[in-house]
Structure 1
Amino acid sequence: MYRRWPLVRQIKLLVVRFLRLRGAPEEISKGLALGIFIGLTPTFGFQMLLAVCLAVMLKENKFAAVLGVWVTNPFTAPFIYALEYESGRVLLNMDYVHIPASLSFSALKSLGWEVLLPLGVGSLLWAALTAMTVYLAAIRIIPITQTWKIPRWPRRPRRRQKEGP
């Protein structure tokens, strides 16, 4: 039954495509770690473009970098950015940001560095730690997954149309 669900099928196809990646495990691991690093920085909206450009410049696996960027998606981004902001705020010994009573442009503009600085520091810390962890795990796991034989998704037989009278 779940095979008829397009989202489940797409997720399985992405996993299969990732497991079937060709290349050296180091290249794939570095691409994945690069994508995770970029995905955990506050560059929302430019992350995939940034990941592909850096993967091309560093000659790493582009598909693995794009997959790594998806660590931050609409479901996980609020939690990740909140953790990064709080970590940066604690490291920099800053107070909590107080939302102004009037939401004018000048009031929001004054909040800029009070939010961006702790978010940037926290994101660099978490991005570096997570990218190193993912690289070390992936460099050991990818050679194992490259030996797996993944069967094709079973196809339903096509229904034959009735011939005319």
Structure 2
Amino acid sequence: MWRRWSFFRQFKLNLIRLLRLQDSPHRIARGLALGLFLGMTPTFGVQMLLALFAAILLRENKLSAVVGVWVTNPVTAPFIYGLEYETGRILLGLPHPALGMEFNYQFLQKFGWQVITPLCLGSLLFGLASAFIGYGIVIKFIPVMRKWRIKRWPRGRR
């Protein structure tokens, strides 16, 4: 039976591992907020390394920072980045970029800035919002969840 539910079992095990960290709820929440902020930035290939490096520099919880980055994964990233881009584009008052007829360096430079600028603004806004919300939720729930008795996952027959 557990093989059919392996995703949920792994999620439960990671949640238990996060809750049993031998660190204060404040440091765990700050590390997760750092990871959430970096997870919202358009650095999709190196987010975990950036979170680990930033957690080491800021002396935050490294595991919770890396877990916070998982908010963007191959399933959620197109939706998150699309929403961030549209939000930044609307706030800056920019029209949708038009594709040019020629594919040269000047076109790529102009098109790149038309995409990067709104994406960075949107990711900054969404990153700050998710960091503050994530910190608030985690700082309240870790002491409560540490008191829970979590049952063992049912084992299959051998």
TM-score (norm 2): 0.90
AA aligned to 2:3 is R
Equivalent residue, structure 2, for 1:43: 43
Report 1:60-79 matches (<5 A).
60-79=60-79
Runs (5+) with no aligned partner, structure 1: 159-165
Equivalent residue, structure 2, for 1:144: 144
Q: Distance in 2 between matches of 1:34 and 1:105?
A: 38
Equivalent residue, structure 2, for 1:26: 26
Q: Distance in 2 between matches of 1:156 and 1:81?
A: 40
Once the two structures are superposed, residues 24-69 of structure 1 have per-residue CA deviations (whole angstroms, 9 ceiling, x without a partner) of 0000000010000000011111100000111111111111111110
Greater shift in the superposed pair: 14-23 or 127-136: 14-23
Q: Distance in 2 between matches of 1:101 and 1:10?
A: 49
Contact 2:9 2:153 in 1 (8 A): no
Equivalent residue, structure 2, for 1:89: 89
Q: Secondary structure at the match of 2:153?
A: coil
Once the two structures are superposed, residues 58-96 of structure 1 have per-residue CA deviations (whole angstroms, 9 ceiling, x without a partner) of 111111111110111111111111111111111111111
Equivalent residue, structure 1, for 2:108: 108
Equivalent residue, structure 1, for 2:57: 57
Q: Distance in 1 between matches of 2:93 and 2:141?
A: 39
Number of residue equivalences: 156
Greater shift in the superposed pair: 3-12 or 66-75: 3-12
Structure 1 residue 8: Cα displacement: 3.1
Structure 1 residue 155: Cα displacement: 3.5
Structure 1 residue 116: Cα displacement: 0.3
Q: Distance in 2 between matches of 1:7 and 1:105?
A: 45
The structure number with the bigger radius of gyration is 1
Structure 1 residue 14: Cα displacement: 1.4
AA aligned to 1:8 is F
Once the two structures are superposed, residues 139-165 of structure 1 have per-residue CA deviations (whole angstroms, 9 ceiling, x without a partner) of 11111111222233343464xxxxxxx
AA aligned to 1:75 is V
AA aligned to 1:122 is G
Counterpart check, 1:124 vs 2:130: no
Q: Secondary structure at the match of 1:44?
A: coil
Q: Structure 1's 148 and 98: CA in aligned 2 closer, same or farther, altered over 3 A? A: same
- How big is the alpha-carbon RMSD for the aligned residues of Structure 1 and Structure 2? 1.6
